Amino acid sequence: MTTRDFLDADHDLDSDCISDDDSEYIPSTSHDSGDEVQPSPKKKKCLPSKAKSSAKPSCSKAKSSAKPSCSRTLALDDSDSDDDIPLARLVQKDSEHNSLEDVCLSEEELTRVLDAPMWASGINFEAPDTTFKGEEEPSPETLKEPLAYFREFVTNQMIENIAEQTNLYSVQKDGKSVNTSKAEIDLFIGLFLRMGLVQAYSLRALWAEETRYDKVADHMARNRYEKLASHIHFTDNSTVMEEEKKNKSWKIAPWFDGLKTSLTKLPQEEFSAVDEIMIPFKGRSDIKQFMRNKPHKWGFKMWGRAGASGILYEFDVYQGASVTSDDGLSKSSQVVIKMTSNIPLGLNFKVFADNFFSSLPLVKILQSKRIFYVRVNRLKGLELKSEKELKTDGSRGAFDHAIEVNSGVVAVRWYDNRTVDLLSSYIGVEPVTEVQRYDKKKNQKNH
């Protein structure tokens, strides 16, 4: 009996599998004549259906629901040449491979395998056209007054809102208004910023006779300053919904929103970087963070993206791991997506970040938006020359690199005082040029 004869026969097959009762029709290798043999208790064997055969024919195991869909990694050739091969020989051939547990993958596992990065060495990085197509802000012919620059970020509407909400809160709290105005809030903020330039053992010391600071004390009475400081408000507490309170910085949300709106109006620079920002603070707050390795260990942690000039273009207050996404990115990589959300697409902007934020899927997503990315990172599954090997290749400046075949992203390991790993969709190892570096041992500059 040929394979086609058997598969075309009217057997009651459960999911294309042969039961123990059907196994008596399978001649063993020692009974090629087709004589009937006694069946032995065996589990069902999974055979590929000729009618469903493809490049990766599907198969299923009887009484199994753990892997309802799987693909054979070693499929039989879909040709008529199999018709002349005895079924026993086909079964024997199939048994020479791994069991179904080894050769079948679930859809999730198969997707993960197909999406895995493929690194290749010895391929040159083909740099895309990264010519910046945005508008460079020209240097100002005349410099503005400091207050004019301040107004580009903190608008009159933002100040008016503070005056209005402060008056409202004082009525809600004390039954009478503090009767402040936009002009007084302007002065209050100016004094607050000025205080940051001097050191005093207490706030009241700035008004004390022995330690008086005229540039503060001459412009506002101490009691008035303290009155405003105790009532300053940015939003109406009575109208905030419970959903809005999930944002732990909801009390100053209007101020942040105003700042972000102002930042989006600034012309964006070609080069920017995403990093974390620590604002020193030791008071009481639910979102206060402690970071052992930072110069300021206590304070508010923020995410930010700033240009090469230092101007901030986007920011957000860290409130815990609350960012969610369906694109498979890590939470830290999602921060970069959020920080680059206001970058105009298709204009070849360049973004830099460190290892904490980065992943290969992130680089690919930004690459699709024509936002080129450079990061410092370590990559799983990528084998580049070790630090020891790079030392033997030469001194400072030795490097190794590999290309991710599917995306064209380049990974570079460069040796200076120690190895530095970079991943980029922007630039590779070329061009290589000589630079002068100072050698402490020889007390001279070397090429």
More confident residue, 58 or 254: 254
> Is 11 a residue whose pLDDT tops 70?
no
pLDDT of residue 420: 78
In DSSP terms, 312 is beta-bridged to 306
pLDDT of residue 65: 45
The token pair at 83 is: 């018709």
More confident residue, 416 or 203: 203
> Is 205 a residue whose pLDDT tops 90?
yes
pLDDT tens digits, residue range 381-394? Answer: 677 878 778 877 66
Binned at pLDDT 50, 70 and 90, residue 60 comes out as very low
Mean pLDDT of 277-287: 90
Indicate the SS3 state at residue 248. coil
Binned at pLDDT 50, 70 and 90, residue 272 comes out as very high
- List the chain domain ranges: 3-115, 148-239, 267-446
Strand blocks (E) in 348-388: 349-353, 371-376
The token pair at 20 is: 């123990």
pLDDT tens digits, residue range 311-341? Answer: 999 999 998 766 555 566 888 888 999 999 9
Question: Counting Cβ atoms within 10 Å, is residue 180 exposed (0-12), middle (13-18) or buried (19+)?
Answer: buried
Mean pLDDT of 334-357: 88
pLDDT of residue 52: 42
Q: Please provide the average confidence, as pLDDT, over all residues in the chain.
A: 75
- Range in 102-116, 162-176, 352-366 with the lowest mean pLDDT: 102-116
pLDDT of residue 21: 46
- Range in 74-88, 265-279, 280-294 with the lowest mean pLDDT: 74-88
pLDDT of residue 99: 44
pLDDT tens digits, residue range 398-442? Answer: 888 788 877 778 888 877 777 777 788 887 777 777 777 777 777
> Is 142 a residue whose pLDDT tops 60?
yes
Measured in whole angstroms, the distance separating CA 258 from the mean position of its chain's CA atoms is: 26
Instruction: Tell me if 352 sits within 8 A of 367, measured CB to CB.
Output: no
pLDDT of residue 81: 46
Handedness of CA 261, 197, 144, 309 (dihedral sign): negative
pLDDT of residue 435: 74
Cβ–Cβ contacts within 10 Å for residue 24, how many? Answer: 12
Whole-model pTM: value is 0.63
pLDDT of residue 50: 41
Q: Cα(78)–Cα(49) distance, rounded to whole angstroms?
A: 10
- Range in 40-49, 122-131, 237-246 with the lowest mean pLDDT: 40-49
Mean pLDDT of 276-294: 89
> Is 176 a residue whose pLDDT tops 70?
yes
CA torsion 15-20-21-25 (nearest 10°) is: 90
> Is 266 a residue whose pLDDT tops 80?
yes
Q: Which residue has the tokens 């990694």?
A: 73
pLDDT of residue 101: 46
Indicate the SS3 state at residue 311. coil
> Is 67 a residue whose pLDDT tops 60?
no
Q: What is the β-pairing status of strands 349-353 and 271-280?
A: parallel
pLDDT of residue 19: 44
